Amino acid sequence: MIFTGYWTGPVTVLVGVAVAVALVWLVQRLFDRQTLADAHGTTGNLLAVVGTLYAVMLGLVVVDAMVRFERAIDVTQAESTALADIHIMAARLPEPFRTRVQDACRRYAVAVVEKEWDLLSEKGQPSIEARRAGLGVLRALDGFEPATESEKAIYPLVIQEMQAAWDHRRERIATAHYGVPAVEWVALLLGALVTVALGGLFPTDKPRFHLLVTALAALVIVLNLYLVSLFGYPFSGDLRVSDLPFRTDIGIFDGIYDEPDAAPDQPVLR
């Protein structure tokens, strides 16, 4: 359940609160005041149990969604950092392997930004082109045998970063693919309806005040459900992980962040 669009959030919250108020109003109309008063003890006990269970479940789901979102940010940053490290360390390799590795890194970063990021947002699926480019990075050193001491020192470091980049990619794709399970949404929505309905099974002489209290409680529940939707799908919706780390990598590969040469008679400002 992914919400997109500027007005989607406020509209969703308002609709949820309206549904809760309508549900309580309907419950109040289905049962007379005497019936509600006779069942007050049982209803109160059930509301305490169900409300507590639902609050714990909702809180855990919200925290899990936020942790998933933060983890997605960390994994994306780690993947892009490993890719930049590969490109930088490859400068110490002999030709043609230096150019082969650096070109493979750039092709992969471009494929992720231009092809894969929108696919992850719309369908939660990776790009075949980006996957092939990633495999190209892994295979860029096929046939290379380090000869000098410098090459022997840098070769295992490059291989280690290649493996790290690929592992982080797999974790990023898995995070984008799964999101919040449908059964979890069913439990959250049904739990919200049952909790609100039990809140309406109380006799009152001030129905407007009762509806106001219900609206406030529903507002808290709906806002938390909206948070689950925002954070539970890290690569989709209005709040999603940015592709800026990979765009920064492309800038590094193209040399736009390199320090410009100083004029002959002017020192470089640091």
Q: For the chain of 270 residues, list the mean pLDDT of each consecutive stretch of 10.
A: 59 84 81 73 81 92 93 95 94 92 95 92 88 94 89 92 95 87 91 86 77 87 90 85 93 80 42
> Which positions ≥6 away from 215 have C-beta within 8 Å?
17, 20, 21
Looking at residue 268, what is its pLDDT?
36
- Is residue 136 within 8 Å of 129, Cβ to Cβ? no
> Which positions ≥6 away from 54 have C-beta within 8 Å?
191, 192, 194, 195
- Is residue 179 within 8 Å of 233, Cβ to Cβ? yes
Report residue 77 as tokens.
């940053």
Report residue 58 as tokens.
């909702």
What are the CA-CA distances from residue 115 to residues 165, 168, 186, 205, 247 (Å)? Answer: 18, 18, 33, 61, 13
Report residue 198 as tokens.
């039990």
Helix axes 40-89, 182-199, angle to 10 degrees: 150
What are the CA-CA distances from residue 199 to residues 45, 46, 60, 83, 210 (Å)? Answer: 11, 10, 22, 54, 9
- Is residue 230 within 8 Å of 62, Cβ to Cβ? no
**Among candidates 115, 228, 235, which has minimal Cα distance to 175?**
235
Task: Give SS3 for 114.
Answer: helix
Alpha helix segments (H runs only) across the chain? 8-30, 33-38, 40-89, 97-111, 117-122, 128-138, 149-178, 182-199, 207-231, 244-254
The CB density around residue 83, as the number of other CB atoms within 10 Å, is 30
Looking at residue 260, what is its pLDDT?
61
Backbone angles phi and psi of 225, in degrees to 5:
-65, -35
Looking at residue 206, what is its pLDDT?
79
Report residue 227 as tokens.
């948070």
Task: Give SS3 for 200.
Answer: coil
| 54 CA to centre of own chain | 23
